[in-house]
Structure 1
Amino acid sequence: MTQGQYKGIEKHLPQQRGNVNMSNLQLINAIPYLTENGCKWRALPEAYGNWHTIYVWMNKWSKNSVLKRVLEVLQIKNITRN
């Protein structure tokens, strides 16, 4: 996802607090990589950030329906473009 595409969903993501070394954009880009490649968490390339941090955040987002909200927004934006 590009920075421009990210701007369209940024407001639907929780703000990070505390000592966080990863941006929401990095996390958003890591998720499709994992699903497309079917790799283990530990095999995630370091360019996406620490695999354990991504796992923890994705798990939190899933439980709090953040991922569901983001996917719904992306579907709406895709439908309005076609």
Structure 2
Amino acid sequence: MAVDLSDAEWVRLAPLLPSVAPQRGGRWRDHRQVINGILWRIDNGAKWREVPQRYGPWQTCYERFSRWEQDGTWARIEQRLQADADAAGELDWRAQADATIVRAHQDASGARKGGSARMNHVPRRRSVCPGVD
């Protein structure tokens, strides 16, 4: 399923992205093409290696996604688009999540892997004859 950005979406998003001007290492692949590849991967739940070639090399999509996560680009985009949507009255801040329906996996509890030392302790069996181990 294609989820490529519409022209209107691209017009809003483009000014929020880093410059594509040549820097050390050469010119960046087109941001729109790469973002469409990232969106394709997210929409399909696929692995990076499965991103179709029409979006460029999968490594480029992954590296751009990772770099923008680290440098705060994604956070700035989210903040700006959220502020714009809020100003336009498009957000409903009254939404709630009921914790009774959000289940966490048992491994998400933060417990030490393998359980506690006390849980792993197996008591030695006592001899039937006192004084004999």
TM-score using structure 1 length: 0.82
Greater relative contact order (CA < 8 Å, ≥ 6 in sequence):
1
Structure 1: segments with no counterpart, 5+ residues: none
The one of 3, 6, 9 aligned to 1:2: 6
- Kindly provide the amino acid, as one letter, of the partner of residue 75 in structure 2: K
Root mean square deviation of aligned Cα: 1.6
Which structure features the higher share of helix residues?
Answer: 1
- Identify the residue that residue 19 of structure 1 maps to in structure 2: 27
TM-score using structure 2 length: 0.54
Query: Number of paired residues?
Result: 81
- Identify the residue that residue 55 of structure 1 maps to in structure 2: 62
- Kindly provide the amino acid, as one letter, of the partner of residue 27 in structure 2: N
Which of these two proteins has the greater Rg computed from alpha carbons?
2
Over the matched positions of the two proteins, sequence identity in percent amounts to 27
- Identify the residue that residue 45 of structure 1 maps to in structure 2: 52
Once residues 3 and 81 of structure 1 are traced to their aligned partners in structure 2, the CA distance between those partners, rounded to angstroms, is: 22
